[in-house]
């Protein structure tokens, strides 16, 4: 039905009592879900604040050591001769600082070029009453040509200095201080270290990783995400935040912005950081700082390095006094020392679908759309799934062929040019097929209500990918259900395709992603196939809305 303003009035927006019911469906469930979200926000408690030893970290000494290491072995890429020289130096320094025997373990893993190279982990064990172990580590390697002064000679220097500060202290738990290899090529050393600690009869219960902690200006990121939405226990995150806050010269350290964290729930990618393999093994783990792989020279702020080192030492002592940390928990978003459970965010996302579901269901019960029109709409929607399915298949084949890698210093898997071109070709072919069918095969008008109905089907697929991913479909469904569709073609296209394109571009821009990243994430499985296909179906629903001629 065309109204007096020249727009098509959606048939699922009734007046009178039915209109009030519709408004209730759009307002009440999201409002209740938002109230539940507010109630669920909590401030976690950090580890025990009782300290038996106050760490006295020497930032000047640590900075001098970092400069010495970077000068001696600027290129510490895994498998290189200079990497072996760096390992020898750090092993000697750990032995001297701690007074303990340095454990050394060589292993082979893929290097920067994908070929197996020899790597080496180093660690010292400060025995405690229990075989439960608190582990602090830093990767020693960097990316050719280095010199990796801040990333990660500063982290390595902090491990040596902490060994000096915390040696000979009576403790409830065993303390492990480790310098690992392979941090720039997929965290191979950390996975190997975990296996070696188990083999030595130790049970790691908390892990703290240090990376690029000496910069004087940057905000130190806190990495606390694992695979599959797992997060480090809230106690460990809060303990690190409190320890950093207790040292004013340590500067600012924080997790990613709440928006970035929510986007990670919507469109998850493989998380970066040394904490990942430990969280995946069910161990509380967190990383302070992150770098670019160690390429180039960054100035070191001795005062900040000293304050950060003292904060980490404080956290280690607090973890020793804490009851066993809980295992990694489910999804949450950290905001200013508080956490919002992922379940509350997922509930809000689903509640936002109640209104469109109620509106579309009412029209379907009235039985207005013709069968022929529905058949045409479903064909368009089916065509819309083709790019998504093709992207997943191409991405998986690309991964099997070994053409997806993660650049040093980045958590983003990226596919090669061939895979990207194949995905673009699949999209072009799909558009050509749709144009052909629309011009020469379809005879029945497309029903306007098919757009939100198919969009709800896309939301179900997105829900299978991750509950928060439903938020991708919400703007389009609300626009299609509440705003009258314009009659003119260009405004109609904006009305239909705009909400879908806007949310997609927003995710890409805010996450710093591109098509190569999308294919890479889909190929490695970090971006669920249901999410890729669901997004494709949502585009198909938008096309139905743009082409529908029946109100």
DSSP codes joined into one string, 50-95: --SS-----HHHHHHHHHHHHHH-S---TTSHHHHHHHHHHHHHHH
Which of 236, 319, 330, 329 is CA-nearest to residue 285?
236
- The pLDDT, as a whole number, for residue 173 is 92
Buried b (16+ CB within 10 A) or exposed e, 11-36: bbbbeeeeeeebeebbeebbeebeee
pLDDT higher at 76 or 383? 76
- Min mean pLDDT across 173-187, 190-204, 355-369 is at 355-369
How far is residue 534's CA from residue 457's CA, in Å, rounded to a whole number? 8
- The pLDDT, as a whole number, for residue 4 is 46
- Write down all domains in the chain, each with its CATH number in brackets: 59-336 (3.40.630.10), 370-547 (no CATH)
| pLDDT band, residue 432 (cuts 50/70/90) | confident
- The pLDDT, as a whole number, for residue 161 is 95
Contact 288, 214 (CB under 8 A): no
Contact 120, 190 (CB under 8 A): no
How far is residue 523's CA from residue 398's CA, in Å, rounded to a whole number? 7
How far is residue 168's CA from residue 160's CA, in Å, rounded to a whole number? 14
Selection from 106-115, 277-286, 288-297 with the highest mean pLDDT: 277-286
- The pLDDT, as a whole number, for residue 498 is 92
DSSP codes joined into one string, 490-540: HHHHHHHHHHHHHHHHHHHHHHT--HHHHHHHHHHTSS-HHHHHHHHHHHH
Residue 368 has pLDDT above 70, yes or no: no
- The pLDDT, as a whole number, for residue 521 is 82
Selection from 18-27, 41-50, 254-263, 523-532 with the highest mean pLDDT: 254-263
Residue 452 has pLDDT above 50, yes or no: yes
Residue 171 has pLDDT above 80, yes or no: yes
Q: Is 42 helix (H, G, I), strand (E, B) or coil?
A: strand
Average pLDDT score over the chain: 86
- Min mean pLDDT across 154-168, 198-212, 316-330, 337-351 is at 316-330
| pLDDT band, residue 2 (cuts 50/70/90) | very low
The percent of residues above 90 in pLDDT, for the chain, comes to 46
Residues 216-223 have a mean pLDDT of 87
How far is residue 189's CA from residue 90's CA, in Å, rounded to a whole number? 15
- The pLDDT, as a whole number, for residue 330 is 80
- Tokens 């579309």 correspond to 360
Please, what sign has the CA dihedral across residues 80, 86, 92, 97? negative
pLDDT higher at 415 or 459? 459
- The pLDDT, as a whole number, for residue 78 is 93
- The pLDDT, as a whole number, for residue 93 is 96
- The pLDDT, as a whole number, for residue 447 is 83
Residue 551 has pLDDT above 60, yes or no: no
Residues 409-432 have a mean pLDDT of 82
pLDDT higher at 7 or 528? 528
- The pLDDT, as a whole number, for residue 213 is 93
| pLDDT band, residue 377 (cuts 50/70/90) | confident
Residues 347-358 have a mean pLDDT of 93
Pairing, β 220-223 against β 284-288: antiparallel
Please, what sign has the CA dihedral across residues 305, 309, 310, 311? positive
Residues 388-407 have a mean pLDDT of 85
Residues 41-62 have a mean pLDDT of 79
Residue 193 has pLDDT above 80, yes or no: yes
- Tokens 């928006």 correspond to 259
Residue 55 has pLDDT above 70, yes or no: no
| pLDDT band, residue 444 (cuts 50/70/90) | low
Residue 307 has pLDDT above 90, yes or no: yes
- The pLDDT, as a whole number, for residue 506 is 81
For residue 49, what are the contacts with CB-CB under 8 A and spacing of at least 6?
318
Q: Is 263 helix (H, G, I), strand (E, B) or coil?
A: helix
pLDDT higher at 278 or 375? 278
- Which two three-digit tokens encode residue 394? 């191409």
- The pLDDT, as a whole number, for residue 92 is 95
- Which two three-digit tokens encode residue 218? 């940057």
For residue 546, what are the contacts with CB-CB under 8 A and spacing of at least 6?
492, 493, 495, 496, 497
Residues 219-240 have a mean pLDDT of 90
- Min mean pLDDT across 18-22, 495-499, 529-533, 542-546 is at 18-22
Contact 326, 284 (CB under 8 A): yes
Residue 12 has pLDDT above 60, yes or no: no
For residue 307, what are the contacts with CB-CB under 8 A and spacing of at least 6?
57, 59, 247, 248, 249, 250, 251
């Amino acid at each position: 039905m065309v109204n007096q303003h020249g727009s098509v009035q959606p048939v699922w927006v009734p007046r009178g009592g039915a209109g009030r019911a519709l408004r209730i469906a759009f307002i009440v469930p999201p409002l209740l879900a938002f109230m539940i979200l507010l109630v669920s926000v909590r401030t976690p408690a950090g580890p025990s604040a009782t300290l038996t030893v106050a760490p006295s970290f020497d930032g000047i000494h640590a900075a001098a050591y970092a400069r010495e290491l970077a000068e001696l072995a600027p290129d510490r890429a895994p498998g290189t001769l200079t990497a072996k020289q760096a390992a020898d130096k750090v092993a000697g320094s750990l032995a001297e600082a701690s007074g303990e025997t340095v454990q050394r373990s060589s292993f082979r893993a893929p290097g920067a070029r994908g070929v197996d190279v020899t790597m080496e982990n180093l660690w010292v064990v400060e025995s405690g009453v229990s075989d439960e172990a608190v582990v602090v580590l830093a990767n020693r390697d960097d990316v050719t040509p280095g010199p990796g002064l801040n990333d990660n000679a500063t982290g390595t220097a902090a491990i040596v200095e902490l060994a000096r500060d915390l040696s000979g202290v009576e403790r409830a738990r065993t303390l492990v201080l480790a310098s690992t290899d392979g941090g720039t090529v997929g965290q191979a050393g950390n996975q190997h270290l975990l296996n070696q600690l188990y083999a030595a009869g130790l049970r790691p219960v908390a892990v703290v990783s240090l990376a690029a902690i000496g910069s004087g200006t940057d905000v130190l990121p806190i990495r606390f995400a694992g695979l599959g939405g797992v997060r480090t226990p809230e106690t460990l995150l809060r303990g690190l935040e409190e320890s950093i806050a207790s040292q004013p010269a340590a500067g600012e350290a924080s997790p990613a912005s709440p928006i970035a964290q929510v986007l990670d729930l919507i469109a998850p990618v493989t998380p970066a950081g040394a904490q990942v393999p430990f969280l995946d093994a069910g161990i509380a783990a967190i990383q302070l700082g992150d770098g670019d792989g160690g390429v180039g020279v960054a100035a070191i702020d001795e005062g900040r390095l000293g304050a950060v080192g003292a904060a980490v030492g404080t956290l280690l002592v607090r973890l020793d006094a804490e009851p066993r940390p809980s295992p990694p928990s489910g999804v949450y978003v950290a905001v200013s020392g508080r956490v919002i459970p992922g379940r509350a965010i997922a509930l809000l996302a689903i509640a936002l679908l109640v209104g469109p579901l109620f509106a579309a269901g009412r029209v379907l019960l009235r039985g207005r759309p013709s069968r022929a029109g529905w058949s045409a709409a479903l064909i368009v929607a089916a065509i819309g799934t083709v790019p998504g399915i093709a992207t997943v298949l191409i991405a998986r084949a690309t991964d099997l062929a070994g053409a997806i890698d993660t650049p040093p210093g980045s958590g983003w898997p990226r596919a090669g040019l061939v895979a990207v071109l194949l995905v673009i070709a699949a999209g072009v072919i799909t558009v050509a097929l749709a144009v052909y069918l629309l011009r020469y095969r379809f005879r029945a008008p497309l029903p306007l209500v098919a757009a939100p109905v198919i969009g709800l089907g896309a939301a179900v697929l997105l829900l299978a990918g991750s509950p928060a991913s439903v938020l991708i479909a919400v703007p389009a469904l609300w626009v299609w259900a509440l705003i009258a569709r314009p009659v003119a073609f260009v405004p109609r296209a904006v009305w239909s395709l705009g909400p879908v394109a806007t949310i997609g571009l927003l995710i890409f821009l805010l996450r710093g992603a591109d098509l190569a990243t999308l294919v890479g994430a889909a190929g490695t499985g970090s971006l669920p196939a249901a999410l890729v296909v669901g997004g494709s179906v949502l585009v198909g629903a938008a096309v139905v809305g743009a082409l529908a001629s029946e109100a």
